[in-house]
Chains A and B, each alone.
Chain A
Amino acid sequence: MGFGNYRTPHSYGYVMTERSSPHAIQSLEMRGVVKRFPGVMALKGVDFDVRAGEIHALLGENGAGKSTLMKILYGLYQPTDGEIVLNGTPVTIHSPHDSISRGIGMIHQHFMLVPSLTVAENVALGMKSGRGSMLDLKQIAKALNELSERYNLKIDPKRPIWQLAVGEQQRVEIIRALYRGAALLILDEPTAVLTPQESDHLFTVLKQMAAEGHAVIFISHKLHEVLAISNRITVLRDGARVDTIPTVGATKLSLAEMMVGRPVVLEYEVPPPAAEGVVRLKLEAVSAMSERGDLGLREAALEVRGGEILGVAGVSGNGQHELAEVIAGMRPAVNGKIIINGAVSTNITPEVLRKRGVAYIPEERMIDGVVGKFTVAENYVLKTHGEKTYTRGGLWLNMRAVANACRKAIHNYEIKTPGTDTPIKNLSGGNIQKLVLARELAENPGVLIAAQPTRGVDIGATEYIHRRLLDERAKGTAILLISEDLDEVMALSDRIIVMYEGQIVGEVVRGAYDVRHIGALMAGVTAEALEDSA
């Protein structure tokens, strides 16, 4: 199959000047791919294929092998066994450089951009310039403008990366891949950092690219996205392919069952709050600094009643982190008042907060939640080790009592661990999170701050954690649920507040949830502007 016989949509003149030859990927197949890491088999003979003009979704839980498979395709890993067949010819991809030169581009979850350089300079990185040792930025900028116009990916080549929002940075990554002549684009969880509107826009772009003959591999664990965008879906579980099916005819439920390997519940029945509970958590104009040294949280005011889940939606980095930490006593409030069960609790230690009934599931469980090298049992009593139940005379730790209590929690919370004396870092994310949950709920808190409680957690554990949160709600706990996963927030919350640039910019009550409305608030469109446009 020669290049000259046909012309792919991306093989325009400006690409040619960059010495990157036009690539044609008609089909790409991975056959029986095995990847063995020391002591673990990450891929157990996976077949996967993608054709020009299609969007092929790769679906699976964390650890199912999606990323490993794609890293092999991108040349970051070498397969232990199996082959990659490009346009009918077996190939070996030695490195990312190799895969790029074959027309494969990958958009990683964490962008590979240099913040201080401009868009054009970032694109020029790692490429040979047409002008020898001189950078050919003008040429690149011109080409980028053409590409951005063509795909409606608005981007200014002269702006430095650090000035760009996350969604814009992703556009830069996509344009860079296209500029380098990618005919096959791999996107690893691309919507994790986007608002619903931005996601929709991305989908439009991807569909246009597919229509023009590109092949797209879309890695995700979000079922509705996969259903919305793909032509075919391949589901991986435990390093093996479950099946490859056409998207037409697939449902959320059928996909989820394929992912987990058993029937799952995706929607919960959230009964209306039994009665108006008392206000357990109240914030009055609370502000806090962010790590960057500016006001990350500005004048936040909210109320959560007992038996109520207040959801906090927002794109990552819009003050949710500061909000959670300031309530949990991990970050000082620079002004405002935090009132727990009627008692002013601004800037008091986590220890006192605990006594006032505040529990906290931190966003970064390995940093704030557990001591990695400590055993499961030691972590279970991180907050309560000084209590009478676990000590003799307040000084000697009663290891047997600790182990027994921990064993109960392991049983009650269905935590999978070899034993109570296993270092907790050896457990999976879902099981660590369950232990944190068990610890935080052990003292029957009146207020629970749950920050990203299911991030990086498998579907089974997610379902379990959701049920526990609803149980707590039924018990009368006031729950603040902070999540970047809009589906999660909408499924569980009685009310949702939306954060944008450190401020609470809107509130929606259950029954009036609308993704587009919440998405607009997340993107910074004011409530007034929304009403005007309506």
Chain B
Amino acid sequence: MNRVIQVRTTSTNWLRAVGNRLLDVAPLLVALILAFLVGSVLLLALNVSPLAGFSSMLQGAFGSENTIAETLVKATPMLLVAIGICISFRGGMINVGGEGQMIAGAVAGVTVALALSTSPSLIAVPLSIFAGFLAGAIYGGLAGWLKAYFNVNEILSTIMLNAIAVQMMNYLLNGPLLDPTEAGVNHVPKTARIAEQLQIARLSIPLPEGVAELFSLQNAELFARTRLHWGLIIAIVLAVLAYFLLWRTTIGYRIRAVGENERAAKYAGIRVRWNMVLAMLFAGGFAGLAGVVQVLGLQYRLQTDGSATGFTANAGFNGIVAALFGGLNPLGAIPASIFFGGLLVGAQKMQRDLGVPAALITSLNGLIVIFAVSSEYFRAALARRRSLGGGSMSGAQPVTAPPETAETRIDPGDSIGLVSS
């Protein structure tokens, strides 16, 4: 029994591993293709050539330094929300309260930032960000608490909390938090601008000499004159941390156990109710971060047009889409968020160029989710086939499993040899 399970690195094994991974990703690609096919039909119905439409979109999303930056700017809050969604969905909580939690975070963050406008940034910025996280966590945790202790359906409660948050924000922006310079003048609902030293810095990447010339860029630094900010880096780092939280810590283990099988978790001595609340605390916290980062990094003030999405621009909902498309894995959510960010930005260009309503992209989003979710069943069926066929079972995991690399894959033949020896 001291024999270590040998990891074979023969070429066939490696090929099989790659093949398995490809098969895992294939359904998602199929989902994308199907969604774009249906999207093409919609474009044709609008008398627009799909080719022209999608190429305009692609250009609008990734065509230039600035559009790439805009795509990443859109992706940032979406990613932060998506990280939280991954945790809550893994914990079995269908959290659709990203919008409300974002708003809670933004309101708390901007309040702290305005109050500390004369403090040094080293104190004020972390405090503001933390306030945003905390407020979002409390707002999400509220729904978790209602679910865990009173069995209130979390889908309903989070939707209602969204509505409450919007109205609360509207009240605050028109009253206590209203920019003093606006009072009695235009009365645009917005807060005062936060002090410069509290703003999250713009992000630019210094380029090696010659590269800028090569791509005929105007600046020596990539993204120098764009709105891209350090929030993106914060989000990506947090996504990695959340991945470790979910799959490498006891906290994440318990949240996932409760989400997958409440009864087995209960019997194993895991506090089911607390972990439900905890999952929602995390989810709300990350959405709250999305809110506060949006304020400190991009808008420098909290403002809204009074509509439900006036401040969030739907990031609270789009984050759900990105999380699902990323396989409820925070690492998968990174490319998924950038992809959906690109769709949104590209849609605006398509609207400008071809007069196609940008709302088309909303329906494309929906189609992608429908196809991606149904591809999940397809994938499960494929996995079952492969495992029944005696192939590598470790590769037959559903998208919900943590990704594994070819190196860590255990050869089935070998380990069976181990148990029978």
Q: How close is A68's CB to chain B, nearest CB, in angstroms? A: 14
Q: Given A383-B269, A385-B253, A394-B250, check contact A418 B412 (CB 8 Å).
A: yes
User: Can you sample 15 A-B contacts with CB below 8 Å?
Assistant: A350-B267, A368-B264, A373-B401, A374-B257, A378-B253, A383-B269, A386-B250, A396-B249, A407-B418, A416-B420, A417-B419, A418-B392, A419-B415, A421-B394, A423-B393
Q: How close is A341's CB to chain B, nearest CB, in angstroms? A: 18
Distance of A328 Cα from B269 Cα, bound (Å): 11
Distance of A279 Cα from B412 Cα, bound (Å): 45
A349 at the interface (CB under 8 A from B): yes
Which one of B260, B267, B394 lies within 8 Å of A374 (CB-CB)?
B260
Determine if B1 and A383 form an interchain contact, defined as CB atoms under 8 angstroms apart.
no
Q: Which of A416-475 contact B (CB under 8 A)?
A: 416-423, 426
The binding surface of chain A is classed by DSSP as loop
A408 at the interface (CB under 8 A from B): yes
Which one of A371, A373, A399, A414 lies within 8 Å of B419 (CB-CB)?
A414
Q: Given A396-B248, A399-B248, check contact A370 B264 (CB 8 Å).
A: yes
A369 at the interface (CB under 8 A from B): yes
Q: Given A385-B250, A395-B249, A416-B416, check contact A350 B264 (CB 8 Å).
A: no
Which one of B1, B254, B393 lies within 8 Å of A407 (CB-CB)?
B1
Q: Given A354-B269, A418-B394, check contact A397 B388 (CB 8 Å).
A: no
Give the interface size class of chain A: 35 or more
The binding surface of chain B is classed by DSSP as helix
Q: Which chain B residue has the least Cβ–Cβ distance from A381?
A: B253
Q: Which chain B residue has the least Cβ–Cβ distance from A378?
A: B253
B352 at the interface (CB under 8 A from A): no
Distance of A414 Cα from B421 Cα, bound (Å): 10
A-B residue pair count with CB separations less than 8 angstroms: 124
Determine if B261 and A367 form an interchain contact, defined as CB atoms under 8 angstroms apart.
yes
Please list the residues of chain A having a beta carbon within 8 angstroms of any beta carbon in chain B: 37-40, 328-330, 349-351, 354, 360, 362, 367-374, 378, 382-383, 385-386, 391, 394-397, 399, 407-408, 410-412, 414-423, 426
* Residues in B whose Cβ lies below 8 Å from that of A411: 1, 418-419
* Residues in A whose Cβ lies below 8 Å from that of B384: 38-39
Q: Which of B368-421 contact A (CB under 8 A)?
A: 384-390, 392-394, 396-398, 400-401, 404, 408, 410-412, 415-416, 418-420
B116 at the interface (CB under 8 A from A): no
Determine if A350 and B269 form an interchain contact, defined as CB atoms under 8 angstroms apart.
yes
Distance of A385 Cα from B250 Cα, bound (Å): 7
* Residues in B whose Cβ lies below 8 Å from that of A360: 267
Q: How close is B107's CB to chain A, nearest CB, in angstroms? A: 31
Distance of A172 Cα from B271 Cα, bound (Å): 46
Q: How close is A411's CB to chain B, nearest CB, in angstroms? A: 4
Distance of A373 Cα from B419 Cα, bound (Å): 22
Determine if B1 and A368 form an interchain contact, defined as CB atoms under 8 angstroms apart.
no
Q: How close is B225's CB to chain A, nearest CB, in angstroms? A: 42
Distance of A421 Cα from B397 Cα, bound (Å): 10
Q: How close is A354's CB to chain B, nearest CB, in angstroms? A: 6
Q: Given A349-B269, A386-B250, A397-B249, check contact A369 B264 (CB 8 Å).
A: yes
Q: Given A373-B400, A419-B410, check contact A39 B250 (CB 8 Å).
A: no
Q: Which of B183-230 contact A (CB under 8 A)?
A: none
Q: Given A395-B249, A411-B418, check contact A362 B267 (CB 8 Å).
A: yes
Q: Given A350-B268, A370-B261, A411-B419, check contact A421 B388 (CB 8 Å).
A: no
Determine if B1 and A408 form an interchain contact, defined as CB atoms under 8 angstroms apart.
yes
Q: Given A39-B389, A416-B419, check contact A421 B269 (CB 8 Å).
A: no
Please list the residues of chain B having a beta carbon within 8 angstroms of any beta carbon in chain A: 1, 5, 248-251, 253-254, 256-257, 260-261, 263-269, 271, 384-390, 392-394, 396-398, 400-401, 404, 408, 410-412, 415-416, 418-420
* Residues in B whose Cβ lies below 8 Å from that of A426: 387, 393, 396
Determine if A417 and B268 form an interchain contact, defined as CB atoms under 8 angstroms apart.
no
* Residues in B whose Cβ lies below 8 Å from that of A362: 267
* Residues in A whose Cβ lies below 8 Å from that of B269: 349-351, 354, 383
Determine if A350 and B388 form an interchain contact, defined as CB atoms under 8 angstroms apart.
no
* Residues in A whose Cβ lies below 8 Å from that of B266: 330, 350
Q: How close is B245's CB to chain A, nearest CB, in angstroms? A: 10
* Residues in A whose Cβ lies below 8 Å from that of B394: 418-419, 421-422
Determine if B419 and A415 form an interchain contact, defined as CB atoms under 8 angstroms apart.
yes
* Residues in B whose Cβ lies below 8 Å from that of A372: 260-261
Distance of A349 Cα from B265 Cα, bound (Å): 12
Q: Given A411-B418, A426-B393, check contact A382 B388 (CB 8 Å).
A: no
Distance of A354 Cα from B5 Cα, bound (Å): 32
Q: How close is A376's CB to chain B, nearest CB, in angstroms? A: 10
* Residues in A whose Cβ lies below 8 Å from that of B268: 350, 382-383
Q: Given A371-B257, A418-B394, check contact A40 B248 (CB 8 Å).
A: no
Q: How close is A37's CB to chain B, nearest CB, in angstroms? A: 7
* Residues in B whose Cβ lies below 8 Å from that of A330: 263, 266-267
Q: Given A39-B388, A354-B269, A426-B393, check contact A418 B260 (CB 8 Å).
A: no
* Residues in A whose Cβ lies below 8 Å from that of B389: 39-40
Q: How close is A358's CB to chain B, nearest CB, in angstroms? A: 11
Q: How close is A365's CB to chain B, nearest CB, in angstroms? A: 9
Which one of A39, A397, A408, A412 lies within 8 Å of B248 (CB-CB)?
A397
Distance of A328 Cα from B266 Cα, bound (Å): 11
Which one of A328, A382, A421 lies within 8 Å of B264 (CB-CB)?
A382
Distance of A351 Cα from B408 Cα, bound (Å): 33
* Residues in B whose Cβ lies below 8 Å from that of A385: 250, 253-254
Distance of A383 Cα from B392 Cα, bound (Å): 28
Determine if B419 and A367 form an interchain contact, defined as CB atoms under 8 angstroms apart.
no
Distance of A414 Cα from B263 Cα, bound (Å): 27
* Residues in A whose Cβ lies below 8 Å from that of B265: 371, 382
* Residues in B whose Cβ lies below 8 Å from that of A421: 394, 404, 408, 410
* Residues in A whose Cβ lies below 8 Å from that of B411: 419
* Residues in A whose Cβ lies below 8 Å from that of B249: 395-397
Q: How close is A361's CB to chain B, nearest CB, in angstroms? A: 11
Determine if B250 and A397 form an interchain contact, defined as CB atoms under 8 angstroms apart.
yes
* Residues in B whose Cβ lies below 8 Å from that of A399: 248
* Residues in A whose Cβ lies below 8 Å from that of B401: 373, 423
Q: Which chain B residue has the least Cβ–Cβ distance from A370?
A: B264
* Residues in B whose Cβ lies below 8 Å from that of A407: 1, 5, 418
